[in-house]
Amino acid sequence: MAPRRRGHSGKPCLALFMLFAMLYFAVPEHIDICRDCSCFGTLQHVSCQGVFRVGAQLKHTFEDVAFRGLDLNAPYSKLSPDLFQNQTGTIYLDLMENGLKFIDDRLFTILRQVKYLTLSLNALTAIPVFHNLSSLQELNLMFNNIRSIGSNLNSHAPKLKVLMLEHNKITITQGDQIPEELEILGLSFNKITSIHRGSLSGLLQLKKVDLTGNLISQISSGSFLLPGLKTVILNENRIREIFKDTFNPELYKLHLNSNSLSGLGNISGILSLKGLYVSYQSDVIKLQEIPLLENLIELTITVESSPDHADGIARILTKMPSRCKLQLLLDKEYPQFNPTTYAVLPISKQ
């Protein structure tokens, strides 16, 4: 009697198909766009390093693209439109560390879905014109030679949320040049000398601004009166005085380390302040002169080793709300202010 044939379930074929699919999407693909470079990635992500051929273009749409070593001898008019000819679906684009001094206006014309763009560590002297980048949310331009913000961003990147311009040569900021929906602004280590009412005006969604390491010696009253602003970082500047009504009363954190402040009386109106950082001033601030803010949970300050030191600590201990617990940590003497100690006073709820 002949054996009965068993029905074919089709499961081996399905498994084989899934295996081929996994290999197709996971195995690095050779992408022929280079004269002297190497590219690795999948149909979703690609990273290239080396020198690109003139007129080269990617044949697939990638979500995440990172390029290193663009050929600076190639005419930008040819390089720009050809390279991204088929990249309408790119979301992440990284062009950092390519020595770019200039970017053709047409480079980003078809990249309408790009949300995250990195152009840091180049040699740009101005913010490029971003035609049609209506989806751009984060822009990184750190470590360039940019001298001004200009009006390009406001016109062509209206949905920008994060703008990083650290380590450039910017001397002035104007709120009307920055997209209104911006939430985080990084301007540390530039050449800004003053902040006035118009510097950040209109940025009603701004939550954090970092101006560390500039040349700021003057801050006008009302400069940081923005309703959504929660963190202001002004470390390593030349600030001597804080005027009344300078900051948003709802501010959470204020960083003023390494300035030239001698008093802090005018911050008493920041009732929501939770963190105050005022260490290493050219003139030592006395603890007695620090406003006792009800919601303060952390204070860093440089204090003298003197009777005033003990008096200040006693004042804070006796006048702080009973629901708060004060802890004092003393470090070794800081040689810049001899004799001084560095005190960190975190106050935690009981």
Please indicate whether residue 212 or residue 56 has the higher confidence score (pLDDT).
212
Together in a domain, 34 and 134: yes
Inside any domain, residue 148: yes
Same domain, 195 and 262: yes
Q: How far apart are CA 242 and CA 273, in angstroms?
A: 15
Percentage, residues of the chain above pLDDT 90: 37
- Local confidence band at 104 (pLDDT 50, 70, 90 cut-offs): confident
Same domain for 188 and 336, yes or no, is: yes
Which range of residues forms the domain containing residue 289?
180-350
Read off the pLDDT of each residue in 289-315 and give the average, rounded to a whole number.
68
The CA-based angle 240-312-341, given to 5 degrees, is: 70
Q: Are residues 141 and 187 in the same domain?
A: no
Q: Which residue has the higher pLDDT, 198 or 303?
A: 198
pTM of the model: 0.78
Tokens 């200009």 sit on residue:
150
Say what the pLDDT of residue 270 is: 93
Res. 219: pLDDT tops 70: yes
Q: How far is CA 158 from CA 18, 148, 174, 181, 345, in A?
A: 42, 18, 16, 7, 42
pLDDT tens profile 123-147 = 999 998 888 788 999 999 999 999 9
Q: Do residues 246 and 273 lie in contact, with contact meaning Cβ atoms separated by under 8 Å? A: no
CB count within 10 Å of CB 13 equals 10
Does residue 36 sit in the same domain as residue 79? yes
Task: Name, of 44-58, 290-304, 323-337, the range with top average pLDDT.
Answer: 290-304
Picking from 115, 135, 170, the residue at the C-terminal end of a domain is 170
Whole-number pLDDT of residue 15: 58
Kindly report the CATH number assigned to the domain that includes residue 148. Answer: 3.80.10.10
Q: Which residue has the higher pLDDT, 165 or 333?
A: 165
Regarding whether 308 and 214 lie in a shared domain, the answer is yes
DSSP for 208-234 reads: EEE-TTS---EE-TTTB--TT--EEE-
* Residue that finishes a domain, picked among 141, 170, 199: 170
Mean pLDDT (the chain, rounded)? 75
Whether 57 and 157 map to the same domain: the answer is yes
Query: Prior bond to 321 cis, omega within 30?
Result: no
Total domain count, the chain: 2
Mean local confidence (pLDDT), 208-225? 96
> What pLDDT is stored for residue 185 in this prediction?
98
In a domain, 15, yes or no: no
Q: Which of 170, 201, 232 is the last residue of a domain?
A: 170
**Does the residue 20 lie in any domain?**
no
Q: How far apart, in whole angstroms, are the C-alpha atoms of residue 46 and residue 36?
A: 16
Q: Within 13 Å of residue 126, how many CA atoms lie on the same side as its CB?
A: 11
